[in-house]
């Protein structure tokens, strides 16, 4: 399977890196990228072929992965439509509806939407997938196999659910990095070296996530197991509850979902 990425930025790079680690050959991956500096970086870092020419870039691809920013997708689709040779399209653009992409490409049926995440770079991504009823089984399987190569996947039946996927796992790594950043900063304030604070914070996330994913118990119970009566954790969690952090985190995630809806209307429906 030959895959052409259109847009060679952050998310495309994460996917390319994960696919190469999973055994894809560099020759199977091409990138169309308008920025010369980014093209050079992709060539150097991954050994993939990168071009600015759309027609050349998709000439031998079986799958075209649309990885430009949502606001760039309409213009790109206009250019792409006359060049297509019935390849499978996978769009990772946040918000933009499959029906809009299909219409922009001239009533093109083979469009799957995917919402991946940057941990795909280390093959620990998670991707939500959606396809309209016009997409056949083989195309679904192919789309899934590409994203499954860089982490786990799940299909949503309703396209609307991709807003939630975007707000939870698409944007999610940034929330986790923010929490890690807070822990590191506190560790340094408490006298640890930056290296020590980094090691402790990161391994705490890795360990807690692994424990939660392997345990039969839910995270509330696991949290209780850390919180000794009258001890340090109890006090820390109490301070978090008093400042209503959970509600604030949930409100932030809702805001991401609202933005995803807005982007559907703002950049879609042309
Ligand atoms: N980053 C993430 O964690 C995730 C991103 N996504 C989605 O992935 C998509 C890409 O995001 P991200 O990688 O962060 O964005 P980037 O801006 O890093 O990458 C997009 C790249 O595409 C280039 N580009 C723009 N127009 C064209 C064109 N017509 N042909 C070829 N290249 C073009 C851009 O150049 P220039 O900058 O000069 O415009 C840029 O280098 C978005 O739609 C986003 O919603 C989905 C899940 C997670
Ligand atoms: O921030 C964004 O809009 C994209 C979608 C999910 C992660 N990054």
Return the pLDDT at 82: 96
Domain span at 227: 172-259
Return the pLDDT at 79: 97
In a domain, 267, yes or no: no
In a domain, 268, yes or no: no
Q: How far apart are CA 267 and CA 72, in angstroms?
A: 8
In a domain, 270, yes or no: no
Pair (48, 119) in one structural domain: yes
Q: Is 51 near ligand 1, meaning CB less than 6 Å away?
A: no
**Model confidence over 240-259: pLDDT tens digits?**
999 999 999 999 999 999 99
Ligand of minimum distance to the alpha carbon of 166: 2
**Model confidence over 134-178: pLDDT tens digits?**
999 999 999 999 999 999 999 999 999 999 999 999 999 999 999
Return the pLDDT at 201: 98
In a domain, 80, yes or no: yes
**Model confidence over 5-36: pLDDT tens digits?**
999 999 999 999 999 999 999 999 999 999 99
Pair (108, 57) in one structural domain: yes
Total domains present in the chain: 2
In a domain, 163, yes or no: no
Instruction: Return the CATH number at 227.
Output: 1.10.3730.10
Pair (13, 126) in one structural domain: yes
From its phi and psi, is residue 22 left (phi > 0), alpha (psi between -120 and 50) or beta?
Answer: alpha
Q: How far apart are CA 126 and CA 152, in angstroms?
A: 5
Q: Are 58 and 83 in contact (CB under 8 A)?
A: yes
Please state, in angstroms and as integers, the Cα–Cα distance from residue 23 to each residue in 7, 27, 146, 149, 161, following that order: 22, 11, 11, 9, 31
Q: Is 259 near ligand 1, meaning CB less than 6 Å away?
A: no
Helix (H, G, I), strand (E, B) or coil at 112: strand
In a domain, 125, yes or no: yes
Pair (87, 137) in one structural domain: yes
Return the pLDDT at 270: 84
Return the pLDDT at 267: 93
Pair (126, 15) in one structural domain: yes
Pair (136, 32) in one structural domain: yes
Pair (90, 123) in one structural domain: yes
Read off the pTM. Answer: 0.97
Give the residues across from 155 on adjacent strands. 129
Residues forming the annotated binding site for NADP(+)?
6-11
Ligand 1 binding pocket mutation candidate from 34, 45, 79, 153 (most atoms within 8 A of CB): 34
Pair (76, 182) in one structural domain: no
Q: Regarding beta strands 125-131 and 111-115, do their DSSP bridges make them parallel or antiparallel, or are they unpaired?
A: antiparallel
Ligand of minimum distance to the alpha carbon of 67: 1
Pair (192, 144) in one structural domain: no
Pair (91, 198) in one structural domain: no
Pair (207, 90) in one structural domain: no
Question: Would you give the end-to-end CA distance of the chain in angstroms?
Answer: 32
Pair (147, 195) in one structural domain: no
């Amino acid at each position: 399977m030959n895959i052409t990425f259109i847009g060679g930025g952050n998310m495309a790079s994460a996917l390319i890196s994960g696919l190469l680690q999973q055994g894809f050959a560099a020759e199977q991956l091409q990138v169309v990228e308008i920025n010369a500096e980014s093209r050079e970086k992709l060539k150097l870092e991954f050994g993939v072929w990168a071009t600015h020419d759309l027609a050349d870039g998709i000439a031998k691809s079986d799958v075209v992965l649309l990885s430009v920013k949502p606001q760039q997708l309409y213009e790109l689709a206009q250019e792409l439509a006359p060049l297509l040779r019935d390849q499978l399209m996978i769009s990772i653009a946040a918000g933009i509806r499959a029906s809009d992409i299909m219409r922009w490409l001239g009533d093109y049926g083979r469009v799957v939407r995917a919402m991946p995440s940057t941990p795909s770079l280390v093959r620990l991504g998670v991707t939500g997938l959606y396809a309209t009823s016009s997409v056949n089984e083989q195309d679904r399987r192919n789309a899934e196999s590409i994203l499954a190569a860089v982490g786990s996947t799940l299909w949503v039946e309703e396209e609307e659910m991709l807003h939630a996927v975007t707000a939870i796992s698409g944007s999610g790594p940034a929330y986790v990095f923010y929490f890690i950043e807070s822990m590191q900063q506190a560790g340094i304030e408490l006298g640890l070296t930056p290296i020590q604070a980094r090691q402790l914070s990161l391994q705490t996330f890795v360990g807690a996530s692994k424990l939660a994913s392997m345990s039969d118990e839910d995270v509330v119970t696991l949290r209780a197991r850390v919180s000794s009566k009258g001890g340090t954790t109890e006090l820390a969690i109490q301070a978090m509850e008093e400042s209503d952090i959970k509600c604030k985190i949930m409100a932030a995630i809702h805001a991401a979902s609202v933005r995803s809806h807005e982007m559907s209307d703002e950049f879609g429906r042309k």
